[in-house]
Amino acid sequence: MAVEEVSDSTIAIPTGRIGGVRAGLIVLAGVAALNLGNYVFHVVSARRLGPSGYSDLATLLTLSSLISLPLGGVQMWVARHIAQARAADDLDAARWFARRVAIRLALIGVCATALGLALAWPLQKALGIHSFASVALTALTIFPAVVTPLVWGITQGLERFGTVALAYASGPVTRLAFVGVAFAAGAQVGGAMLATLASMIAALLLPLVSIKSLFAPPVDPRRRLVRRDAIRSLLPVMLGLLAVTALTSDDVVVAKLALSSHEAGIYGSASLVGRVILYLPAAVATVLLPRVAVRVAGRRDTHDLLARSMWVTVAFCTFGIAFYAVAGGLITRVAFGAKYSEAVGLLWLFAIAMSGFAILNLLLIYHLARGHNKMSWLLLVGAVSQTALFVALHRSGKQLVVVDIAVAAALIVAHEILLGGMLSRSLIPPRFRRAARQA
């Protein structure tokens, strides 16, 4: 993003910078609370609604994620910009940026929510959702989904990882409280979506309190956003996150459309558990992005950050695959009950697929933090290819998840070809690389 400046005065930006391991553990605690809360929510909902009702809920939540998760691109874009302002100790630039982006996102959120409400009835009919109210509530989640990435991005860019963890954890706690009341009152899918809306509002407001000072008027109000350059810098980030969201979520929508309600519910439950492997390494990526951005601003090497982050991700994914392969039956019985026993055969396959996507997501965030966009376009091509394969292969849940595995593997190989084996080289310790060159 290009900014025209008329003042070179800088003011130090207060941050919450802590050591990498401690930061990772703090964010991991927040991510674990996020996933555990979401997991309990889905388990309670699946048991209450049954496979048919749960398939409606899983579809609506997937639609919501198709809106909110790509907007994580805005969070990354904001975090990168705030980290760069930190590197220059320029509080005025950070305040100016936060205020301008807040106004634009609020306007977009209002318009997008109105459009979502207008499309609620056609979507209900097209997807076979039983409750119109639940679709309308899904549309209302658009506004917090649009605005929250700014607040989270500022917090992440300042490296206030304790606040980031609190933001991650607050939503699921709020949702569980609301869904318990809703189900006790006799609500069904609509009650679950109302709880989801309340959780998103809580996750927006809580971290906002700690960073409200950054929305104060800047000392120099004459800066301005060059819109063309802003779009040019934001678009690859948005498209990359949209591609990751499509790669990891579209299969649930395809299952809803192509399989029976019972089979779609089974598939949705297996997908829920499988995606834990995708989400937990997000703690690593959350810490990685601002630290890579700061190093890039200071023209320092970043490959060691990628190497450490990738080793942690690979180790976690390997453990997850083994655990699901051994304990899949126990997980399914404890989580969802006997009605979902057919999901056992899908769990270890989902673990492999989501491990591949976790690696791809980390690579995307690393490249975007460096200001490089090739990974976004690669993942976008992968998402389109995956959709084409789903058109041909959708007779069973197993076919869908095998497509996921094949696409993830192909994209990792393509990354290595296009970027000169960057991933492979990052996993080799420097002393071995030096020895190999000397030999």
Average pLDDT of the chain to the nearest whole number? 81
Taking residues 223-242, report their average pLDDT.
Answer: 71
Helices (H), 119-226: 120-127, 132-140, 142-157, 161-184, 189-211
Give every CB contact of residue 47 below 8 A, 6+ residues apart in sequence: 336, 337
- The domain limits of the chain are 19-225, 227-432
Q: What 3-state class would DSSP assign to 187? A: coil
Residue 432: is its pLDDT beyond 70? Answer: no
For residue 3, what are the β-bridge partners? 225
Tokens 């029976």 -> residue: 260
Query: What is the pTM for the complete model shown?
Result: 0.72
> What is the model's pLDDT at position 413?
93
pLDDT band at residue 48 using 50, 70 and 90 as cut-offs: confident
* Residue 419 scores a pLDDT above 90: no
pLDDT of residue 59: 84
Average pLDDT, integer, range 262-275 = 79
pLDDT at position 223, please? Answer: 54
CB distance 150 to 78 below 8 Å: yes
Identity at 192, one-letter amino acid code: A
Higher pLDDT, 56 or 384: 384
In the chain, the amino acid numbered 223 is: R
- Predicted confidence at residue 262, as pLDDT, reads 76
Q: Distances from the Cα of 48 to the Cαs of 43, 53, 137, 184, 425, in angstroms?
A: 8, 9, 19, 11, 49
Confidence of residue 242 (pLDDT cuts 50, 70, 90): confident
- Residue type present at position 419: L
Q: Which residue has the higher pLDDT, 312 or 225?
A: 312
Residue 274 has pLDDT above 60, yes or no: yes
Q: Give the C-alpha separation, 135 to 254, whole Å.
A: 18
List of residues 6+ apart from 194 with CB closer than 8 A: 137, 178, 182, 187
pLDDT at res. 403: 92
> Which residues pair with residue 225 across a beta bridge?
3
Give the model confidence (pLDDT) of 191-203 as tens digits. Answer: 889 999 999 999 9
Query: Residue 258 has what pLDDT?
Result: 79
Asked which of 23-37, 66-80, 328-342, 372-386 is least confident by mean pLDDT, the reply is 328-342
- Three-class SS of residue 38? helix
